Structure 1
Amino acid sequence: MKVTISDIAKAANVAKSTVSKVLNDSPKISRETKLRVRQIMKEMNYTPSSIATGLARQSSYNIGLLVDMSKGSEFLNQFFYNIIGGIESVIGSLKYELTIANVQHSSPEDHFLNRLVHSKRVDGIIANNSVLTEALAAELDRLQFPYIAIGEIPAPGSWVDFDNELGGRMLTQHLLTQRYSSIAFIGGQRDEKIFTRRYNGYAQALEQSGLTASQDRIINGKADEHEGYRAALTLLQNPDRPDAIVCMTNYAAFGALQAARELGINVPAELGIAAFDEYPLSRYTTPPLTSLNIDTFKLGVSSGHLLMERISGGSGLPSRHLLLEPELILRESTTRN
């Protein structure tokens, strides 16, 4: 049997009008009462009809972009602003505004579900998969509230991402065509889905060429300049050193180039280096890096389109998973004469 406002009011020992005011985030209701009533709603798996069915009748003409302001990497880089520009290019023409919301909160009352969703201040949400946890996605699904994740998330969520597995194959296949045969992979944590996808593509390309991804050629770690340098030194000082390296990011590749230079190893004659991500270093290194261009503006555009589909199509739409194709940019770091 469907849970009603009356059921919630009875369980919380308040009037139905109080429950309605909590749903509308009325300032007349105390913080303690709001927290208690919302906890009961969650325990009783109550879906407010104003959220589940009222979207077609009401619109704030606002889209929420969730960020974690405690992580500088979430917003202090070009990728973040490219994504914003892509989203704006879609929703702006439809008269929607974009609200950037911090998911960090000091109390349950400040949670974005209360600030944005229950209060109906936004019509939909876009968030990176590092912010949109499985639990939050499940709650948005329960509320039948439109959202799109940037990056892969478990079913039944909708998401858009670049095909990282394809990217791993593209980089590795290119190195193989340049007559490199002992190819290492550096950077990324094994428990990260993005590493798993990129590594799988790398391993698939080797297998398709009759080679094996040897575990002593794989070095995990933070994909930055320092760890890239450290990992490359470890590999290149081994008597049985690789003749090419696929790097998780161009920052890791920058560190690998530094290690090769210190050891007197010529790039690309003796060592090929290729990297995921074009921005910001690839074209400026010595030699310039072969890399994959991950067009984050296009990522924003695609997430904006998917969210608008979900807002206009209602809760009956099936989930969508969209993989975008990266672009291989060939430069001197892998080009053998």
Structure 2
Amino acid sequence: MVTILDTVKTAPKARHPEKANRPDNPIQRKPEWIRVKAPGSPVYKETQGIVKENGLFTVCEEAGCPNIGECWSKKHATMMIMGDTCTRACAFCNVKTGLPAPLDPNEPENVALAVEKLGLHHVVITSVDRDDLKDGGAEHFAQVIRAIRARSPSTTIEVLTPDFLRKDGALEVVVAAKPDVFNHNLETVPSNYLTVRPGARYFHSIRLLQRVKELDPTIFTKSGIMVGLGEERNEVLQLMDDLRSADVDFLTIGQYLQPTSKHHPIIRFVPPDEFKSYETIAYTKGFLMVSSSPLTRSSHHAGEDFEQLRANRAKKLAEARG
């Protein structure tokens, strides 16, 4: 297994053939505040075994998440459904690009079984982009949600979905399955989309999140961005306003880490005090929950954050009633 600690040294060049023609961008040495210990605890290995036994992929491994050691040592894993091959080639992402395999009809049940074995109180389900599918994989998401509910009815479910661009009716299918949290990441400010997220459209993603609330106001909505990609501070603040206009509840902000020399370079390591400033401002703009730190990732501490999110909503409703 390749982790963020050794990705730069060992990731095979063949993993990203679609990025071969990109210029080499030297990997910057990480500052002290963003370094993590290599994984390897007994519980980590147990989690790894359960994932492998059920033939599952996790974004923890595929995206080289720096928090994998911590999360897997607590039996927390973010399941990545619909294979390990994405139809897009975003400049920041370490998931391989190509023509994906057909969907595995057994995957929903295998994911549900792994959730049951891990004893998860809260699970995050994400996926690769599947632009090759008529519905972008929406029905597969719904099947996974239903399978988890059947085996582990008390487990709360968070989905981190693609944008379902040009997939009419797809969002409605996922929302109808009633996940507890619907997450879709903006990833970066709109001025970076052509170079960082060229296959996506910023305002489509904003509208997607807004539409979730229109369809089911009880579902929590969430989005996240990376900083250090050359964004300006005022652009981040405008993005916050755009998300609040869509009534998004939860914002995550983390430091971008460059997976390989063929990926987008790190323009800047943002110091912890700036993350704290973003957090303070985001709360003043009305987010129910904000996680902003160098190592913040969408699903890091997702279970604990969900409990706090639920408590914050209840408090806000009580205050509104007077």
> Does the TM-score normalized on the shorter chain lie above 0.5?
no
Rg larger for: 1
With normalisation by structure 2, the TM-score equals 0.29
With normalisation by structure 1, the TM-score equals 0.28
